[in-house]
Structure 1
Amino acid sequence: MEIWELLKEYNFTSSDEENNNEENNTINPNILGYIFEKSIGDYRKATGAYYTRSKITNYISRNTLNRFFLDNINKKFQTVLPWPLDTFQQLKMYPIELRTKIYKYFIKLLEKLKICDPAVGSGAFLVSIGELIVRIYNFLINILGFKRLIRFKEKK
């Protein structure tokens, strides 16, 4: 059996919580990380290669994007948005005109954003930050009433 035939038997998800049922052949990032760590054995010990759990990658992704956005927005608009910027609710203290400009600037920042994970391994950081970027993008597009330029298909 070729590897592709074997892989067709499984459903791959990007979320640890999604379809967490053994009977439906779902493979999530934690399972892939476990396989990755077990398959590299002695190499892992010699090189320090490890799978990073989603709680950690989510924390790092959130804080990295948070700092990037806050630094750029505070500089551009001479504002003092608080650290951490946990939700967009914190922007409600500003007049609607300024908020709209800030939201539009968020989109410009997202369009210019480049992410590099030089030690990519299983891709856990890239998946985590990618999901966060999509959530931020969708929020901004919805609040501004724009048409989505990018369509993401959700697996059901």
Structure 2
Amino acid sequence: MTEAVPSRITELQLHEEELVFPGFDHHDAWRLGSLIANHAVEAGHAVAIDIRRHNLVLFRCVLPGATADQEEWIRRKAASTLRFERSTALLSAEFAAKEFDPTQGGWLAPEDYTLAGGSFPIRVRRTGVVAAVTVSGLASDDDHQLAVDGIREYLRTASG
């Protein structure tokens, strides 16, 4: 295992410790999703953005250039985040450090779960994970970063 893997895991863990919501409802989902979508439009990203509570979609945006395949990636990324209550980027880094792929060998069905980065848990203080925000259409790390940057900005502007 290289030194970069533990530092990446630490960085991703810090994202999850930092990005905690005081509360989260349908209006927050709309505002957060719209903020991320606006950033994606400004950057010219062809992505799909989704915020869901298990099977209830709270926000969905598919930008020009995104493909129908993004629906499957979103569904599988969100399923992983909601099951493990961690970002798919963190899960991917942790499993890579253990040299273990849970989608092989029968533990997690690859048609239902993926560890590709881009899904991040919506964690509410004193409540826990209530939803997942998922971005799909860029490289895994870029999907993750678009979601994290959006959440960070949302929390900063909502609290002050």
TM range (shorter): under 0.3
Q: Which has the higher strand share?
A: 2
Task: Give the number of the structure whose residues are more often helix, by fraction.
Answer: 1
Structure of higher RCO (CA pairs closer than 8 Å, 6+ residues apart): 2
Kindly name which structure, 1 or 2, has the bigger radius of gyration based on alpha carbons.
1
TM-score, normalised to structure 2, is 0.24
